[in-house]
Amino acid sequence: MSSLAIKVGDELPVFQRRTGLAEWNRYAAVNDEFVPIHMDDDAGRAAGFQGALGMGNLQIAYLHNVVRDWLGDRGRILTLSCRFNAPNLKGTIICARGHVTAVTPRENGVEIALDVWTADADGNRLAPGACTVLIDR
């Protein structure tokens, strides 16, 4: 898709993953993030959750994936941020989503603003955020 075809309201293709201890352990291994609340239900409950929960940074990674998959080699991610509203619990299917909120021509390309978020299978937003990309001229 060329940058000229991108318009406000366009939806990004969904990036989806089922998460749990196996996925969290793999993520922890590459990030040295072996924190008890991500590995042990008792530690998660002691922290006030239903059990173990996924890393917030893994949700950021899912947001990065949904944007990168949509953007491809056309440009680069300038900013990406989110707020953690709810935990990623074991067995949850996480969907990373996004849509275009602004398209602004720039000297060096087209800047695209996106609303991005992760949600569970019921549509509850776990980590709403924003992203800005630049599609090179």
pLDDT digits (tens, 9 = 90+) for 29-58: 998 888 999 999 999 999 999 999 999 999
Q: H/E/C letters for each residue in the chain? A: CCHHHCCCCCECCCEEEECCHHHHHHHHHHHCCCCHHHHCHHHHHHCCCCCCECCHHHHHHHHHHHHHHHHCCCEEEEEEEECCCCCCECCCEEEEEEEEEEEEEECCEEEEEEEEEEECCCCCEEEEEEEEEEEEC
pLDDT of residue 33: 84
Domain ranges within the chain, ordered by starting residue: 3-136
Per residue in 101-129, pLDDT (tens digit) is 999 999 999 999 999 999 999 999 999 99
The CATH code belonging to domain 3-136 is 3.10.129.10
Q: Report whether pLDDT(2) > 80.
A: no
Query: pLDDT above 90 covers what percent of the chain?
Result: 84
